[in-house]
Structure 1
Amino acid sequence: MPDEEVEVSIIIPVKNGEKFLSFCLDSVLAQVQVAVLSLEISIYDDGSIDETSKIISYYQIKAKENGIKFTASYGAISGGVGYAKDKAVVQSSGRYLCFLDADDIMSSNRIAKQYKKAQEIERNGNLAFIGSCFERLPKNATERYTRWACNLTEEQLYTQIYTAFGPTLIAPTWFISRSIYNQVSGFNKSIKNGFPEDLDFFYKALSLPIKLCRLEESLVIYRYHSECATFGVNEKTIWDIRIKQIEKDILSKWSKITIWNAGKQGKKLYK
């Protein structure tokens, strides 16, 4: 399949993913209503030392049987989450990028639904930055966070971008125009550990003519477990990135600011 024919690349960075990767890739191969689309699975193995490489080899054959392009590469030394995502994107060739973490599962109609919405957005002259609602596995994990993320209004996708939770569109549900990635210059690769590469990318993308959209249907099962990469993200780093964005977007345009009934977080913000 020539590279220029690929419409959607599914971007999967993985490190030591033997426990969940098969479930992830099975969900990609189960996609429906995408017969008219040319798909690509793009996996970058970020220094795994378990059976991840064998799983990748097995699914490379299965993908070919399903008419799906399969691109994979391996790094002997881990470069971190941002580095792995970047490698998976760079080696891919799709017009759209559909992100999926190696421990998550997508619904069988995810690509069809998000691709249709992306086409609609781009017909109106914007770049598509699409997410969706999601389910947690186990179901009772991070209830407050899940409720927040899945109930934001269209306006709140923009107005709540400075909250402590991170991007208002959750990274494992992202389906974006490749042009966004190109203009943002990819994910931060310089900080290997403890860095919120998704939040950093999201803030940079907001300077572009994008349209944020969250599909109301739950299209991703977002797994919660002790080895999640998010547990390694430094809270102070997230705080510093948020403050810099607030300074850039808001404080630089105001002559005065007043904070009241702020509580501990508000006082920290003010300082």
Structure 2
Amino acid sequence: MTAASPASTDLLTAAVTARTVAAGSGVAVLAVAGWRSHGVLHGCDEQGRVVLLLPPDAVLPDLPPVGPHPGTCVLEVERSAALPDATVPLASVQVWLELEEVPPSERPAALELLAACHSLSEALRSWRGRRLLRGTVEHAHCHRAPRCEEVDAEEFAAAVPDPVAPWEADALERLRVDLREELLDGLRRASPAARSRMVLDGPAWRGTSDLADVLPVAVDERGATVLGVLSDGDRLHLRLPFPSAPHDADDVVDLTATALHEAVAATA
């Protein structure tokens, strides 16, 4: 595993990240004994079980006990930030599952759960007849800069998804509109020690002239992650930790500005 940088201590725990991503964030692929299905809708119920809706053309192999061993059933979810000229990976989660069909009596509730996770309530009627599965988590693997971590079944089930996730997109838009220039100016003035504390991953950040642009790419209850673009085109992830958890997009702007000002003040 990659050694953690100082900024990594401000990240959500691996269990919370895995539970948040599995609960609907990101692009998912279901792999069962070599068979793969793209475009899988996914969510988590209150018991921490993963609910999956397969695409209309998916022909899944038989499930246990007559099909592949449960250890071969893996939900792979990639969470990325879509930028105008690139896609920036943020987290990758693999969840090993023991799969079963959702009983007919529980299908309406499971579909409602997925609709809520993906803001697709109007699409419920088009989901009739599609295969709906439920998976008990055996363990998960969570990778995000700067580390890879394992999450066991108990940790996954007990984790509470990040409360910022449902309105993260709104918070990011506010940051990009209200604070982008201030972020660039402030980060350029940060001291070498402050820069070292903020860097999650990426090449060495040599000085103020290196930083050509910044763009907020992720927000959670512990902080904001910012993509820094260097003058030679290289990119790095920076982390601005929050002193308290935000309750809305206004809080995110204020807390990010506070974290930035504290980093700049450390230049003395």
Q: Give the TM-score band, short-chain normalised.
A: under 0.3
Write 1 or 2 for the structure with the bigger share of helix. 1
TM-score normalized with structure 1 length: 0.25
Write 1 or 2 for the structure with the bigger share of strand. 2
Choose between structure 1 and 2 for higher RCO, CA contacts under 8 A separated by at least 6 residues. Answer: 1
Q: Give the structure with higher Rg (CA).
A: 2
TM-score normalized with structure 2 length: 0.25
